[in-house]
């Protein structure tokens, strides 16, 4: 991680040979069944790592306990194993940087919060959900992250904070540098730059005590020595916030690659509305693991024609540059090909 010498730009670059061993990861949230959209990202992340002879880590992101279920976490492990996407470290087999389940890593997140608090980067926010929704017409600095926070609670005095704390438990917000832009080179999407103040100050611990995805993923990826993060394009707008946290915590940032999403013909992300594309459902319907992998590989530009094959067979020839740059529409003909009909 190298910061630009110009004070108004936080840029991230990586020199060849910084770490000899490539470490990639897949980190599902067990709040629903794994489906082809999840496996699309998992397969590409796995191929990127295995093609470089690297180590692949599986982490279960169940930090939001009310939404997550242990049975779904187990189902995710079963689905991935059935598909041939193995891992070197994970919640079921352990490893040197465990635990590999976020709900068991609370002490690490609290330590990061203490460090940010001591450096003056956090402040309590007492805004209600209704108050935040009231500013929804504000400009969106980060399209997936909601409206820019207007800083209502940033300048409260200690006395004002105590008065409000008597009536409401606050969330904690990370105070960004309003004059600092963020830039990085994305392995799939190319050069990306975000304007100063994009997205505004953001929550890293909710009022109910739940640690935000933004903080947890930064702490986890750094602690697990992840060098390469490949994930869906929907998370691209989270990246500048995570890079700010890496910089504030003095942690090395990984390389990022954000791949396009699988979309239905209605222009929306592939989901239940487009039919049952869960791995469990496909398996029950008699679709083989090799058929799913081959179907995704063809969509990803890794083979010119559709042929069922294993993930291991794909690894040696994987090329991230061949993955499409635009969202991929899965039409009826493509779905029939998957099901073999």
Give 75-104 pLDDT, tens digit per residue. 999 999 999 999 999 999 999 999 999 999
Could you say which of 213, 241, 272 is where a domain stops?
213
Asked if the structure places residue 12 within a domain, the reply is: no
Strands 202-205 and 328-329: unpaired
What's the mean per-residue pLDDT of the chain? Answer: 89
**pLDDT greater than 50 at residue 3:** no
Let me know whether 203 and 149 are in one domain: yes
Could you say which of 213, 231, 259 is where a domain stops?
213
Let me know whether 300 and 175 are in one domain: no
Q: How far apart are CA 211 and CA 67, in angstroms?
A: 14
Could you say which of 213, 243, 275 is where a domain stops?
213
The pLDDT confidence band at residue 242, using thresholds 50, 70 and 90, is very high
Let me know whether 98 and 230 are in one domain: yes
* pLDDT for 1: 37
What does the pLDDT look like over 292-313, one tens digit per residue?
Answer: 999 999 999 999 999 999 999 9
CATH number at residue 227: 3.40.50.620
Q: How far apart are CA 113 and CA 119, in angstroms?
A: 10
Let me know whether 58 and 151 are in one domain: no
**pLDDT greater than 50 at residue 141:** no
Let me know whether 280 and 142 are in one domain: no
Strands 202-205 and 228-232: unpaired
Asked if the structure places residue 235 within a domain, the reply is: yes
* pLDDT for 71: 96
CB atoms within 10 A of CB 168: 13
Domain count, the chain: 2
Residue range(s) defining the domain that contains residue 158: 107-213
| Sheet of 122-125, strands arranged across | 122-125, 171-174, 202-205
* pLDDT for 321: 96
Strands 190-194 and 181-186: antiparallel
Asked if the structure places residue 237 within a domain, the reply is: yes
Q: Who has greater pLDDT, 146 or 29?
A: 29
What is the pTM for the complete model shown?
A: 0.91
């Amino acid at each position: 991680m190298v910061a630009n010498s110009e004070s108004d730009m936080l840029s991230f670059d990586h020199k060849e040979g910084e770490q000899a061993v490539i470490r990639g990861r897949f980190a599902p949230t067990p709040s629903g069944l794994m489906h082809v959209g999840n496996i699309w990202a998992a397969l590409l992340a796995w191929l990127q790592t295995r093609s470089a002879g690297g180590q692949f880590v599986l982490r279960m992101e169940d930090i939001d306990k009310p939404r997550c279920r242990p049975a779904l976490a187990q189902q995710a492990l079963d689905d991935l194993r059935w598909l041939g996407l193995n891992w070197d470290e994970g919640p079921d087999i352990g490893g040197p940087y465990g635990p590999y389940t976020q709900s068991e890593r609370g002490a690490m997140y609290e330590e990061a919060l203490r460090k940010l608090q001591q450096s003056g980067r956090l402040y309590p926010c007492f805004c209600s959900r209704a108050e935040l929704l009231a500013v929804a017409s504000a400009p969106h600095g980060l399209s997936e992250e909601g409206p820019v926070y207007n800083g209502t609670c940033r300048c409260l005095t200690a006395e004002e904070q105590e008065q409000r704390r008597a009536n409401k438990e606050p969330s904690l917000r990370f105070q960004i540098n309003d004059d600092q832009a963020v830039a990085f080179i994305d392995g799939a999407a190319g050069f990306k730059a975000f304007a100063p103040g994009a997205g505004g100050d953001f929550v890293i611990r909710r009022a109910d005590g739940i640690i935000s995805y933004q903080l947890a993923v930064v702490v986890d990826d750094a602690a697990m020595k992840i060098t390469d993060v490949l994930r869906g394009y929907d998370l691209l707008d989270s990246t500048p916030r995570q890079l700010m946290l890496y910089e504030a915590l003095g942690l090395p940032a990984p390389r990022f690659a954000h791949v396009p999403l699988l979309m239905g013909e209605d222009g929306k992300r592939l989901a239940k509305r487009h039919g049952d594309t869960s791995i469990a459902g496909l398996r029950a319907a008699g679709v083989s693991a090799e058929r799913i992998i081959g179907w995704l590989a063809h969509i990803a530009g890794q083979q010119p024609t559709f042929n069922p094959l294993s993930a291991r067979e794909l690894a040696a020839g994987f090329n991230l540059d061949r993955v499409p740059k635009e969202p991929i529409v899965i039409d009826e003909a493509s779905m029939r090909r998957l099901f073999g009909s």
